[in-house]
Amino acid sequence: MNNETHIASAVIQVWPEKLQQITQWVAELPDTEIHTGAGDNKFIAVFETGSTAEIQILTDRINQYDGVLSVNLVYHHHETPEALAEEIDYEIHTP
């Protein structure tokens, strides 16, 4: 069993008259968060899944929706649960 968390984002471009409808539909997909403001007919979706295959399934599903022009994956990162839970100590160095 894969024990990783995959985080990815995609810019989704749609017909302008379908923006609200498609944004709402994508927001209801599992493991998906929406960020607007990417343009008049674009928005950003962030996915948090258990595998690359699940990201591919989500982006394929979105790409097939009526009114979607493109789905472009722009970021993908994966971590183990242990790495995600690890506290990061930032040390700021000033000149």
The dihedral built from the CA positions of residue 44, 50, 51 and 56, taken in this order, carries a sign that is negative
Determine the pLDDT at residue 70.
Answer: 97
Per-residue confidence band for 93, with pLDDT thresholds at 50, 70 and 90? confident
Structural domain span for residue 62: 18-31+39-47+56-70
* 9 is a domain residue: no
* 24 is a domain residue: yes
* 25 is a domain residue: yes
Average pLDDT over residues 16-45: 91
Q: How many domains does the chain have?
A: 1
* 76 is a domain residue: no
Structure tokens at 10: 């995609």
* 12 is a domain residue: no
* 27 is a domain residue: yes
Q: Which tens digit of pLDDT belongs to each residue from 35-76?
A: 987 678 999 999 999 999 999 999 999 999 999 999 999 999
Determine the pLDDT at residue 83.
Answer: 67
